[in-house]
Homo-oligomer: A and B are copies of this chain.
Amino acid sequence: MDDLSMFKNISNEEIEFMLKCFHAIRMTFKKERTIISSIINSNYIGVILSGTAHMVKYDYKGNRTILEKLERDSVFGNIFMSLGNDISITASTDCEVLLIEYTHVYEQCRKNCRCHTIFTSNILSLLSSKVSELNDRLEVLSNRSIRDKLLSYFGLLVKGKSRRSFILPFTYTELADYLSVDRSAMQRELKNLKDEGFITTNGKRITLNY
C-alpha cells in the first residue's frame, strides 16, 4: 500500500490507521462494470489498487472516447477531472479500488496527525502533476497545423532525454485521437516529415533528426 503515490512517505501502519479514520471504502468491480456513479463521483477520491479501468466520454452522437487509461496507482475523482454526466469510469478488467471522502483531503481532523499532513501534501503533488500533464496536452493542441502538433508532441517526448529518439506510448490511431486530428491526415503528414528527413520511424520507435 505504501507504494501508492498518495501514500508516499507514510508507513503501512499509519496508512491502516488513516484509512480507518477516513472510513475509506474498498470495493471490487467486475469487468465492464461502471465504477463511478453520480453519487460517488461528487464526494469521493478514488485510487485503483488492482486491474485496469477506462475513463470514457460519450459525445452527443454517442461516440465513445477513452480520455484516460487507469491502472494501479491511478487516481480519479472530481478534484482531478470534473466528471459530468457524459464522463464515466468503467472497469476494463476486474478491478479493486479504494475510495476516500473528499472531506479528509481538504480538512485536517483535530488530531493533527503527521501522516495526514503528508497525505495532503501527496495529493497536492498528484494534482500538480495532473496540471502539468494537462498543460503539456494544451501546448500540443494549441498548434494550428498537424505538422506542428506532431513536432510539438515529439518535442515533449524527448525533452530532457539525451537521445532524440523515443518509443511512442500510443498506437498511431490513439495518437491521432490525442492530437485531435484526423488519422489519415496525420499519417500523410508523418509521411511528409519522413520524406523531408525530419524524422525516421521504425514501428513505434521515432527518431528526430533536427
Instruction: In the complex, identify which listed stretch (A31-39, A138-146, A192-200) lies at the interface while the others stay far away.
Output: A138-146
Nearest residue in B to A140 (C-beta to C-beta)?
Answer: B141
Does A125 count as interface, using CB distance less than 8 angstroms?
yes
Residues of B with C-beta under 8 A to A142: 57, 65, 141, 180
Whole-angstrom CA separation of A107 from B57 in the bound complex: 36
**B108 and A117 contacting across the interface, CB-CB below 8 Å:** yes
Whole-angstrom CA separation of A63 from B148 in the bound complex: 12
**B59 and A131 contacting across the interface, CB-CB below 8 Å:** no
**B180 and A144 contacting across the interface, CB-CB below 8 Å:** yes
Does A162 count as interface, using CB distance less than 8 angstroms?
no
Does A182 count as interface, using CB distance less than 8 angstroms?
yes
Whole-angstrom CA separation of A59 from B112 in the bound complex: 47
**B124 and A120 contacting across the interface, CB-CB below 8 Å:** yes
Instruction: In the complex, identify which listed stretch (A22-30, A79-87, A88-96, A165-173) lies at the interface while the others stay far away.
Output: A79-87
**A124 and B125 contacting across the interface, CB-CB below 8 Å:** no
**A181 and B144 contacting across the interface, CB-CB below 8 Å:** yes
Residues of B with C-beta under 8 A to A157: none
Residues of B with C-beta under 8 A to A123: 124
| A121, A125, A127, A180, most chain B CB atoms within 10 A | A127
Q: How far is the CB of A199 from chain B (nearest CB, A)?
A: 17
Does A206 count as interface, using CB distance less than 8 angstroms?
no
Does A135 count as interface, using CB distance less than 8 angstroms?
yes
**A79 and B131 contacting across the interface, CB-CB below 8 Å:** yes
Does A208 count as interface, using CB distance less than 8 angstroms?
no
Does A201 count as interface, using CB distance less than 8 angstroms?
no
Out of B59, B144, B180, which one reaches A182, CB within 8 Å?
B144
A binding-site residues for B, Cβ under 8 Å: 57, 59, 63, 65, 67, 78-82, 105-108, 112, 117, 120-121, 123-125, 127-128, 130-132, 134-139, 141-144, 148, 180-182
**Top 7 A-B residue pairs of the complex, sorted by shortest distance between their CB atoms:** A134-B134, A142-B180, A141-B141, A79-B128, A127-B127, A108-B117, A82-B132
